Amino acid sequence: MRAYQDFREFLAVLEQQKQLLRITDPVKLEPDMAAASAAATRLGNRSPALLFNNVAGYQNAQIVTNVHGSWANHALVLGMDPDSGIRDQFLEFVRRYRMYPGQLERVTSAPWQEVMIDKDINLFEILPLFRWNQGDGGFFIDKPCVISRDPDDWNNDDVENVGCYRLQVKDKNHLGIQTVPQHDIALQLAHAEARGEDLPVAIALGNEPIILLMAATPMLYTQLEYKMAAVMQGQPYRVVQNAKGLDIPYGSEYVLEGRILSRKRQPEGPFGEFPGYYSGCHQYPVIEIDRVLHRKDPIYESVYVGRPWTELDYLQALTTSAPIFDQVNSTFPEVLAVNALYTHGLVLIVQTKVRYGGFAKAVGLRVLSTPHGLGYAKVIIVVNEDVDPFDLNQVMWAISVRVNPAGDILMLPNLAENLLDPACQPSGIVTKMIIDATTPIPPDRRGDYGEILGTPVGTDTWLQKLEALTKELQR
C-alpha cells in the first residue's frame, strides 16, 4: 500500500521497475499512437507503459498510454509486488474496499495551476489529441476523471462523483460526453436538467493512478471515490477545491473546467468501444469549457480501447469484481469471490457455497440487481467453492459436468443493459442468463453425483518444490 503524489511520481516508479518504455523515435499521431498502444496490450503480464516524446507537429508534446496495461502495473498502482497474481490483487483490493471511508485532505494549491487559460480556449492546441480507431467520429479524451456534484444535494461530499466517461472533442471548447443512464453523473445531470440548469464539471487528465481506478469503480451513489482512494492508498486523498466547489485531484497534469449544457444533445461517436465494436452515433450531452489549467510541460494520458484484452480491461477488472463481490457478499456471506474480468463484466463468474437447492440461482439474481449488474452483467456463471472463478479451466469443467441445461439455465427477458452492448434489442434492453454450474443439492435432486476425485497425497508439497525449482531454472 502506498500513495503516489502525482502522475509523474508514478511514471518514475514504473521506470525504476522497468515498466515504462520511452519511445523517442518520431511518431505520427495517426496511426502510430493506436498501433503502438494496441501492440503493447499483446505483450502479456509485464507489458509496460509507453511514453512518446517525439510527436509529429509538436516541439515537446508528451503522451503516455498503457499506464494500467498489465497486472504488474496494476499491482504497482496498489503498491503491491509487481509479481502479485490476480487472485491476490483481488483479495487485497476487497480488503481495502471494505475499510471505506478514508479521508479527504483539502489543500489550497496544486502544480496544475501553473498555467491558466481562460480566453480563446482551443483544446486542439492545448492537448495532443488524436484518433484511436479509424471509424471513430473524432478525437476522444478517454481517460479523464470527470468530477461533478448533485444539484439537489450540493454540499454533500458523499454524493460528489468522480467518473471516467469518454469525451469527444467537438470543437475548440466543446466536448461530447457519454453518460449512459446507469452512470452516477446521468442522475446528477437529470437533476440539473429538471431545474433547467447547467451542471458544472471539472475534468482532470493525467492523474496519479489510484483515482482513475476509483473513477472506473461502480461504487454506491453515496460513496465518494476520493474517500475510497484514501483507503486504497493508505493515506488521506489530497484534492484542491475550485470556485464551483468541485474537488480536483492534487496530482493531475491538466484540469478542464466547464458545464454540461442543460437540455442540449448533439451527435456523438462512433467510438471503438470496450465490447470490441463501434458504439454507433447517438445524441449525447455537450460540455462547454470555460477554463483550462495545466502543469508546465504537461503530460497527456490516454487509453487504447479496442477488442479485448486491452489496457481498459485491466482498468475495469478488479474495480468491477470487487464492488459486486462486496455488495453480493453483504447479502449472501456464502459468496466467496466474483470474477468480472471479461468485457467489463458482461460475463461474470461467482464462486459461492450453496446452502440448499436453488440457492445459486438466487445468488445470480442478486448480482443482476447490483448497481453494476443493472447495466452490464448479462451472463452469470455460478460455481461451487471448489472451483476457482479466476481459473477458466476449472470454470469450464464446472459448466461441462454440473450443468444440465434443462434445469440450470435461467433466461430473464427485457432487462436494462448498457447501450454499448451490441447484443441489445432494442438498444439498452437485453435478455440476461444465469448458468447454475453448481452441483444440485437437496431438495434439488438432479443428476447422479457420486464420489468426486480428490488430489493425490503430497501434491501441495510437490507443487511448492517444483515452483522453486522452475524459478531457479528460469533465472
Partner 1 sequence: MSATTQVTAVPVCPRCRSTTTEVRGVSPVAGVWTVYGCDTCFYTWRSTEPEENTNPDKYPAVFRLEPQNLPKLEIAPTIPPLPAKKT
Binding residues vs partner 1 (CB under 8 A)? 26, 28-31, 56-59, 122, 124-125, 129-131, 134-135, 137-139, 168-172, 176, 178-181, 186, 189-190, 193-196, 263, 265-268, 270, 278, 281-285, 419, 427-428
Could you please report the per-residue DSSP string of 9-72?
A: HHHHHHHHTT-EEEE-S-B-HHHHHHHHHHHHTTS-TTPPEEEE--BTT-SS-EEEE-TT-SHH
Q: What is the DSSP string of 103-154?
A: -EEEES--GGGSEEE-SS--HHHHS----SSTT-SS-EE-S-EEEE--TTST
> Quick check: 288 and 227 in contact, CB under 8 A?
no
In the complex, the smallest distance separating the C-beta of residue 195 from partner 1, rounded to whole angstroms, is 5
Residue positions annotated with a catalytic role? 273
Query: Would you say 178 or 233 has its CB closer to partner 1?
Result: 178
Please report how close the Cβ of residue 144 comes to partner 1 at its closest, in angstroms: 17
Comparison of 38 and 337: residue with beta carbon closer to partner 1: 38
Supply the minimum distance, in Å, between the C-beta of residue 129 and partner 1: 8
Q: How much of the chain is in helix, strand and coil states, percent to nearest 5?
A: 30, 25, 45
Alpha-carbon separation of residue 454 from 368, 386, 458, 459 (angstroms): 34, 11, 12, 11
C-alpha cell at 154: 450540493
Query: Minimum distance from CB of 185 to partner 1 (Å)?
Result: 10
Q: DSSP E strands: which ranges in 295-422?
A: 299-301, 335-342, 347-352, 379-383, 409-416
Cα–Cα distance for residue pair 93/319, rounded to 1 Å:
8
Q: Which are the contacts of 137, defined by CB distance < 8 A and separation ≥ 6?
A: 168, 267, 268, 269, 270, 271, 281
Q: Tell me, what DSSP letter sits at residue 236?
A: P
* Amino acid type, 96: R
Residue whose CB is less far from partner 1, 58 or 449: 58
Kindly tell me which of 240 and 292 has the beta carbon lying closer to partner 1. Answer: 292
Nearer to partner 1 by C-beta: 199 or 395? 199
CB 192 to partner 1: min, Å:
10
Q: Residue 26 or 234: which CB sits closer to partner 1?
A: 26
User: Do 201 and 235 contact (CB within 8 A), yes or no?
Assistant: no
Strand order through the sheet with 104-107: 104-107, 237-241, 247-249
**How far is the C-alpha of 113 from the C-alpha of 91, rounded, in Å?**
38
Nearest approach in angstroms of CB 152 to partner 1 is: 9
Q: Return d(Cα 406, Cα 409) in angstroms, integer.
A: 7
CA distance 164 to 145: 5
Q: Closest approach of Cβ 196 to partner 1, in Å?
A: 6
Residues 6+ apart with CB under 8 A from 122: 172, 173
Cβ of residue 150: shortest distance to partner 1, in angstroms? 14
Whose Cβ is closer to partner 1: residue 258's or residue 440's?
258
Residue number, 270 or 276, with CB nearest to partner 1: 270
